[in-house]
Amino acid sequence: MKFITVDSYEKLSRMTANMICAEVISKPNAVLGLATGSSPLGTYAKMIEYNKNGDVDFSEVTSVNLDEYVGLDGSNDQSYRYFMDTNLFSQINIDPKKTFVPNGCAEDLAKEGENYDNFIKELGGIDIQLLGIGLDGHIGFNEPDDVFIKETHEVALDPSTIEANARFFEKEEDVPRTAITMGMMSIMQAKKVVLIANGKNKKEIVEKAVYGPITPQVPASILQLHPDVTVIYSEN
């Protein structure tokens, strides 16, 4: 595991975008595993800039996102599908038909999870997976638990996650209580992983994930077992 500390969010974002774009340049039909939340916004802004400059072409790329709130469809501006369309997909030359986010409105979420995992397998797995990290150590929405869950699954969000995500909603009651998330299998089978975190409040959990014991109580700690992980942290 490489642990890189940088002194600004701008540097973190540039470095991360460079890693993702390098992957696309060397493999134009790369499969990108993408995340939502505030951490990747700077990375996506850089990817948009590189695409507009003509430095990187996303036309053959496929993307698979980590997670979605249960009950929100893509027309809801709080859904992760809407977030991705707005903050990245509509601003680069990716084919919208090759962008995938788990369907939080599927009637049978267990089946949706199974289909999502099979689909990722059929794609040949993820070439590079971008991750943020929650204050409780979650990646995707794999919350602290007694076990690591392998498959894409429905999950009850931790109260601390609901509180953290309330900043994006009008009222805390509006934050969905459940989500569907990629499980640890597809994440751990990604060829490369880059985990980004910024802000003083993330320092303790990032250090726990990188240096602490490997435990499902700190879901991101499983990444210590992955052969190619880069963690990029900025206090600012």
Of the listed pieces 6-14, 18-26, 132-140, 150-158, which binds ligand F6R according to CB under 6 A?
Answer: 132-140
Indicate whether 132 belongs to the interface with ligand F6R (CB under 6 A).
Answer: yes
Q: How far is the CB of 199 from ligand F6R (least distance, A)?
A: 8
List the 192-198 sheet strands across, edge first.
2-6, 229-234, 192-198, 128-131, 31-34, 62-65, 99-100
Indicate whether 139 belongs to the interface with ligand F6R (CB under 6 A).
Answer: yes
Cα angle 184, 94, 49 (rounded to 5 degrees) comes to 100
CA gap 221, 60 in Å, rounded: 33
Considering only residues 39 to 78 of the shown chain, the ones binding ligand F6R according to CB under 6 A are 39, 66-67
Indicate whether 190 belongs to the interface with ligand F6R (CB under 6 A).
Answer: no
DSSP letters along 108-137, please? Answer: -HHHHHHHHHHHHHHTT--SEEEE---TT-
Of the listed pieces 17-25, 34-42, 43-51, 221-229, which binds ligand F6R according to CB under 6 A?
Answer: 34-42
Q: From the list 81, 138, 153, 192, which residue makes contact with ligand F6R (rule: CB under 6 A)? A: 138
Pairing of strands 128-131, 229-234: unpaired
Shortest Cβ contact with ligand F6R: which residue? 132
Indicate whether 137 belongs to the interface with ligand F6R (CB under 6 A).
Answer: no
CB-nearer residue toward ligand F6R: 21 or 33: 33
Of the listed pieces 2-10, 44-52, 128-136, 204-212, which binds ligand F6R according to CB under 6 A?
Answer: 128-136
* Angle, helix 9-26 to helix 41-53, in steps of 10 degrees: 50
